[in-house]
Amino acid sequence: MTTLVAEVYDAFKEAGASEEKSKAAAATMAEQASQIKEWKQEASEQTKRLATKEDINLLVEDISGVKDDINGLKIDMASMKAEMGMMRWLMGGTFFGIIALLIRSIWG
């Protein structure tokens, strides 16, 4: 018997419990103690997997960096959109110039 089991057994015996009940109670206490020990180990392992404030702060910094990158992309997209509008006008003007030359050469 372990020390805890022996102490519980002796305490029950001194309190007047029968030997069977004392052994059963001591065994139950030992099982509960081992279960609590297992729970403590599981809780310790779970605690290792939790995010700390430092981890969260690093994520916040990364997210703010990504937001900055997205804002930069939005600015680039706006300038590309403006350039595409200008290109459309230039292509339209070129197309009409070619059509005008064709009409002039046919009826000209």
* 59 in any annotated domain: no
User: Tell me: the pLDDT tens digits for 8-34?
Assistant: 778 878 888 788 887 788 788 888 888
CA–CA dist 100, 93 (Å, integer): 10
Residues spanned by the domain of 8? 1-50
Question: What pLDDT score was predicted for residue 60?
Answer: 94
* Secondary structure (3-state) at 88: helix
Per residue in 29-60, pLDDT (tens digit) is 888 888 898 999 988 888 888 888 998 999 99
Q: What are the tens digits of pLDDT across the range 61-74?
A: 999 999 999 999 99
Residue 74 lies in a domain: no
Indicate the residue type of 77.
M
Q: Examine residue 86 and state whether it is found in any structural domain, yes or no.
A: no
- Domains in the chain: how many in total? 1
In a domain, 96, yes or no: no
In the predicted model, what is the mean pLDDT of the chain?
88
Has residue 4 been placed in a domain?
Answer: yes
| Backbone phi and psi for residue 75, each to the nearest 5 degrees, phi listed first | -65, -45
